[in-house]
Amino acid sequence: MFKTTHQLAKIRLQLRQVIIAVAALLIFIAASGSSAAQSKERNHPTPLKSNELSADFSQNDSEYFYSFTAGPGEVIFTLDVKGSYPSGGIPYFHLFNTAGRELGSFEQIAARNSSEKLVKKISFTKRQPVVMRIGKPIGGGSYRLRISGAVALESGAETGGDRLMGLPASGTLRFEMKDGSAQELDLGRVRRVTVKP
């Protein structure tokens, strides 16, 4: 049965509304992944949903635990630390297997009002679950940790390099349909999403 131009335009409009709704949902999930509750229990770590963690820290903080899958191959940890008043700070990161054996650790000191960077590479001979402990820091400041390389997060997607998991706030989202057609969405133009039945 042939469809009229009006019917095709209506179908395209409905398809765009669905695409926008899906994009907004993915953006919301990506944004909320880093702000999820942090586990303070080694036996119940928070699964990492993003390959980037950032937070302010102080010496009064608790230890926090996260989990992800690493290997086989090299995992790269890029840590940026900014020290705060009065004397800067040091955040500590430790990696363990599920039996509690330490697989590696790293930390970076940043003096007051200075920014420091550390790149730590750890090789894993096989694919395995990893528990990452963010230990009690000394002093205060803020950090941003990016994880790349041979690592898989809770979503099951490989990071495959420095590409951030989730969708960016700008750029073009492209959907290829089963019938071979394609739709593109400029994410920078999205303000609000509603789905109508």
Q: How many CA atoms lie within 13 A of 110 on its CB side?
A: 24
Residues 86 and 147 in one domain: yes
**End-to-end CA gap in the chain:** 24
Are residues 174 and 182 in contact, defined by beta-carbon separation less than 8 angstroms? yes
Residue 110 inside a domain? The answer is yes
Residues 61 and 131 in one domain: yes
Residues 125 and 69 in one domain: yes
Residue 66: per-residue pLDDT = 96
Residues 101 and 148 in one domain: yes
Residue 10: per-residue pLDDT = 73
Residues 93 and 181 in one domain: no
Residue 196 inside a domain? The answer is no
Residue 158 inside a domain? The answer is no
CA distances from 163 to 38, 114, 166 (A): 23, 26, 9
* CA 167 – CA 26 distance, rounded (Å): 7
Helices (H) and strands (E) in the chain, counts: 1, 9
| Alpha helix (H) residue ranges in the chain | 5-33
Residue 176 inside a domain? The answer is yes
Are residues 102 and 94 in contact, defined by beta-carbon separation less than 8 angstroms? yes
| Residue numbers of the domain that contains 19 | 5-33+169-189
Residues 72 and 123 in one domain: yes
Residue 142 inside a domain? The answer is yes
Residue 177: per-residue pLDDT = 80
- The number of domains in the chain is 2
Residues 109 and 16 in one domain: no
The tens place of each residue's pLDDT in the chain, 197 residues long, gives 556 776 766 777 666 665 665 555 554 444 444 444 689 998 999 999 999 999 999 999 999 999 999 999 999 999 999 999 888 999 999 999 999 999 999 999 999 999 999 999 999 999 999 999 999 999 999 999 999 999 998 764 444 433 333 445 556 777 778 888 888 877 667 655 555 55
